[in-house]
Amino acid sequence: MDFWQDQFDTIDLSDNEIVKLENMPHLNRLGTLIINNNRITRINPNIGEFLPKLHTLVLTNNRLVNLVEIDPLTSLPKLQFLSLLDNSITKKPNYRLYVIHKLKSLRVLDFKKVKNKERMEAASLFASEEMEEEAKKESMKTLMPVEVPNVSEEEEQQTPKVVAPTPEQIIAIKAAIVNSQTLEEVARLEEVLKSGQLPADLKIPDYDSGSKDVKENDEKMVPDVENEADVEPNNVENQKNDELAAMEQD
């Protein structure tokens, strides 16, 4: 390709399917390399030999995961600007301090200026090789995904389902509001009317069935009244017969 002929100060290789940052020719003029939105997981340990004047490297949105994977960048003697945003490596403990510790010439990391306070903190944190190795091992530990508990069928059945009230139920709800004895019950029933959703566990008195029961009871009482009416004439007739019998004896 033409840009491999060392004619440019800046090369943009964004939005490709690049997996490894390696197999590059010697580009003595190249100062800025932009490789956003790729799939880079590995960097050539000797990249500095091919890009001796590189001062800006943008690796935003790639697949660098562990701290050890940026160690090859130490071979870039003039690297001052580096972006690793949207790589999993940025979520590792002490990520920023580790990068500042490894890349001594770095001035800007992830578009934030490297402060002297950070340099001192990084030097203190990684004062020995043992501490540096421990940080690398820690970054290689994978986080276990949090398991979301499954809702059992029994729990789903216990959860009241919401259904829309029928016109008859709306009338019954209004009647229930009138007959409610507590403000809480009135408020709950009014909320049901406003939302138009009827919880399955909400019990509403069935006034229609109640009236039917009253009618049935009334009908059951009618035969008893008629029987009483039949009994009363019989008693009067018996009384008259008793009186006639007494007169005949006299």
Q: Which residues of 93-106 are buried (b: 16+ CB within 10 A; e: fewer)?
A: ebbbbbbbbbbeeb
Is residue 117 within 8 Å of residue 125, measured between CB atoms? no
Given a cut of 70, is residue 203 above it in pLDDT?
no
Out of 3.80.10.10, 3.90.1170.50, 2.60.120.10, 3.40.190.170, the CATH code matching 10-136 is: 3.80.10.10
pTM, entire model: 0.55
Residue 206: band (very low, low, confident or very high) from pLDDT cuts 50, 70, 90: low
- Residue written as tokens 């090859």? 72
The residue with tokens 């009186």 is 243
Q: Which residue is associated with the tokens 């090369």?
A: 11
pLDDT recorded at residue 132 = 77
Query: pLDDT band at 51, cuts 50/70/90?
Result: very high
Q: Where do the domains of the chain lie?
A: 10-136
pLDDT in tens, 210-223: 444 434 444 444 44
CA 131/CA 117 separation, integer angstroms: 19
CA gap 99, 66 in Å, rounded? 11
Residue 138: CB partners within 8 Å, gap ≥ 6? 92, 93
Asked if residue 205 has pLDDT above 70, the reply is no
DSSP state of 93: T
For residues 96 and 102, what is the distance between their CA atoms, to the nearest angstrom?
A: 10
Task: Write out 25-77 in H/E/C secondary structure.
Answer: CCCCCCCEEECCCCCCCEECCCHHHHCCCCCEEECCCCCCCCHHHHHHHHHCC
pLDDT (tens digit per residue) in 168-199: 777 777 777 777 777 777 777 777 666 666 66
Is residue 141 pLDDT above 80, yes or no?
no
* pLDDT value of position 161: 57
| Residue 113: C-alpha distances to residues 86, 87, 117, 119 (Å) | 18, 19, 11, 11
Q: What is the distance between the alpha carbons of residues 195 and 62, in angstroms, rounded to a whole number?
A: 49
